[in-house]
Amino acid sequence: MSRIGVFVCHCGENISRTVDVERVAAEVGKLPGVALATDYKYMCSDPGQGLLKKAIAEQRLSHVVVAACSPRMHERTFRKAVESAGINPFLCEMANIREHCSWVHDNREEATEKAIEIVGMMVERVKRNRALPAITVPVTKRSLIIGGGIAGIQAALDIADAGHEVVLVEREPSIGGHMAQLSETFPTLDCSQCIMTPRMVDVANHPRITLHSYSEVEHVEGYIGNFQVTIRKKARSVDEKKCTGCGVCIEKCPIRKIPNKFDCNLGMRPAIYIPFPQAVPNTPVIDRESCAMFKSGKCGLCKKVCGPGAVDYEQEDRLIVEPVGAIVVATGFDLYDITEKPKGSQIKGYGEFGHGRIPDVIDGMTFERLASASGPTGGRILRPSDGREPKQIVFIQCVGSRAREKGISYCSKVCCMYTAKQTMLYHHKVHDGQAYVFFMDARTPGKSYDEFWRRSIEEEEAVYIRGMVSRLYQKGDKIVVMGSDIAVGVQVEIEADMVVLATAVQPRSGADILAQKLGISYDKYHFYSEAHAKLRPVECATAGIYLAGACQGPKDIPDTVSQASAAAAKVMTLFAREKLEREPIVARVREAGCVGCFYCRKVCAYGAIEEKEIRDRQGNLIKVVAYVNPGVCGGCGTCQATCPSKSVELDGYTDEQIVAMIEAL
């Protein structure tokens, strides 16, 4: 016979104003199995919890119902309290008479009646609860980091420095990401490469970091603490272990006119190449689509000149499996490409800018490569069309961003600042030039950001025009920029030598495919979704997977680094435990009834359903039934709703309990 204790909370006046709590306690006290029913002003307070614990001891209570607020608010509080008084925490339930009753009703009489019924239902449910043992799962203390930009590098170094092994996967031949492409960074104008490349080298030399460059995540299995990740190491055609990075192969390659993606296609590279001189690893890769050996079988020069014999035309993609306990996703961003009309997309493109077909209309990243000392022009700002120095340059902000009618409504966050920086770099390099900026607003929230923006206007003589540009067209060797100046209310036309578009920040291409492999959610633009915008900003809703950098939303370098360190801290918190304890509300299969149809496996979103063989004493197979892996089960109950033979049930939500609750009404 159960001895249930019911504790009715006043919640100050939140409940007692509308619900006669004393009457609720008196009525519920009459129910069979209830040993004690009482009320108190604040059950969650220290004296309230004391009252609960004291009653458990004195009245030898077997189950507890707290009639108060939503379980989302205080279930954990009261379960801890009963646990400390010696009762299994899952024998304590909450009856929500605040959100579901007092807050939404005015009539005291009716609200009280309803509260009595709500509490009565929970009494019937808790009676049928089982004491559930905690489920523990082991933790593999290695982490996978996807993306080797500044976010991935920061997270990798933090976790590795804390003493844990890290596997870093990068899609490109070198780590470094977009930050390695930048010239100088706001708001301090320090050289991006100078602060970036030492960190890249730290990654390469770290004893606890395994770097897989030119590799992609192929497949992910498992759950928090126990992921199995399959990584595809794409064929580099150069043996990383043998290669010394001497660069002779690159010098000798006869195919030299391939646009270099790292330089935004401004410079050229050979078919065997490293993307940039400071690349990590400093191992070349053969671009098989351009290489003469792969196209026609006639060349083989790089193999001939390679002293250590590292060039290997026969190399194939390799699949490797890495067991890890946590995953940090840091796949970063791409810039919105306006050079062609997007196909079959919600994004509408920029036909009024000729879809970017004018050669001297470039995007912000291309300008960074022009301004970079290690870029294709050695840091001189020159027009891609004729190599002349532009004397009038126009920067256009919010190209794609904040343009609902074009399909993107968000702000890309970094463009106001980098445009201000680029006007400065331009002014430093072209003294007799004039920079104009078309802008909607200048958004400069950040330490020393507004001062920096003001400097571009006051000291570096950039002319800011508030308004948008309606059209760009080529007129002779000039680009006519037609825009509006809404501060003065006039149309403006500028004949520019070069136009720089601050195009929107978008998630890296293929972000959606990776998300599907990982089982994490993303928004309509394919930015990854955090579990809670404010309180869990670096965690995914999927346990054990964390986010860092621009893959979650547009971010500048300081924010990216902060988030990466935060994600690393979350991983370390996870790794601080030997075993993970998780809520034991999971589904269980009644093997006698299970017919092995495995409909449950089809609907299980967590992949928790496994097969289990039932054998007789002689070892003969009788049948195969479903088995729920408690480490993986998410406790959603979909299997229970699906099972045709009613043979799988979720603890705490069994059919028997639900029926008993209904009958209590």
List of residues contacting another protein (CB under 8 A): 341, 348-352, 354-355, 405, 471, 473-475, 480
Is residue 327 within 8 A of residue 298, CB to CB? The reply is no
Q: Are strands 478-485 and 490-496 parallel, antiparallel or unpaired?
A: antiparallel
Rounded distance between C-alpha atoms, residue 307 and residue 293, angstroms:
19
Apex CA 237: angle with CA 232 and CA 243, to 5°? 105
Tell the smallest beta-carbon distance from residue 352 to another protein (Å). 4
Tell the smallest beta-carbon distance from residue 337 to another protein (Å). 15
Tell the smallest beta-carbon distance from residue 480 to another protein (Å). 7
Nearer to another protein, 350 or 522 (CB): 350
Tell the smallest beta-carbon distance from residue 433 to another protein (Å). 24
Nearer to another protein, 195 or 480 (CB): 480
Nearest to 661 by CA among 130, 118, 131, 129: 118
Helices marked H in 128-191: 150-161
Nearer to another protein, 14 or 474 (CB): 474
Is residue 283 within 8 A of residue 245, CB to CB? The reply is yes
Rounded distance between C-alpha atoms, residue 440 and residue 352, angstroms:
18
Nearer to another protein, 72 or 341 (CB): 341
Tell the smallest beta-carbon distance from residue 469 to another protein (Å). 12
Q: Which amino acid makes up residue 591? A: E
Q: How far is CA 355 from the centre of its chain?
A: 31
Q: What is the dihedral of CA 48, 53, 57, 58, to 10 degrees?
A: 0
Nearer to another protein, 405 or 663 (CB): 405
Rounded distance between C-alpha atoms, residue 651 and residue 474, angstroms:
70
Nearer to another protein, 417 or 479 (CB): 479
Nearer to another protein, 5 or 356 (CB): 356
Nearer to another protein, 78 or 350 (CB): 350
Nearer to another protein, 247 or 407 (CB): 407
Tell the smallest beta-carbon distance from residue 490 to another protein (Å). 15
Question: Residue 293 in 3-state DSSP?
Answer: helix
Query: How many Cβ atoms from other residues are within 10 Å of residue 369's Cβ?
Result: 23
Q: Could you tell me the two tokens for 5?
A: 């204790």
Rounded distance between C-alpha atoms, residue 148 and residue 170, angstroms:
5
Q: E strands, 344-433, where?
A: 361-363, 392-399
Tell the smallest beta-carbon distance from residue 389 to another protein (Å). 24
Tell the smallest beta-carbon distance from residue 473 to another protein (Å). 3
Nearer to another protein, 175 or 481 (CB): 481
The DSSP bridge partners found for residue 379 are none
Tell the smallest beta-carbon distance from residue 351 to another protein (Å). 3
Rounded distance between C-alpha atoms, residue 505 and residue 127, angstroms:
55
Is residue 585 within 8 A of residue 132, CB to CB? The reply is yes
Helices marked H in 408-556: 415-429, 449-458, 511-518
Tell the smallest beta-carbon distance from residue 441 to another protein (Å). 24
Nearer to another protein, 241 or 343 (CB): 343
Nearer to another protein, 497 or 530 (CB): 497
The radius of gyration computed from the CA coordinates of the chain, to the nearest angstrom, equals: 32
H/E run at residue 329 = strand 326-329
Q: What is the largest CA-CA distance in the chain?
A: 95
Rounded distance between C-alpha atoms, residue 433 and residue 461, angstroms:
10
Tell the smallest beta-carbon distance from residue 476 to another protein (Å). 8
Nearest to 155 by CA among 188, 185, 177: 177
Tell the smallest beta-carbon distance from residue 492 to another protein (Å). 15
Rounded distance between C-alpha atoms, residue 553 and residue 507, angstroms:
8
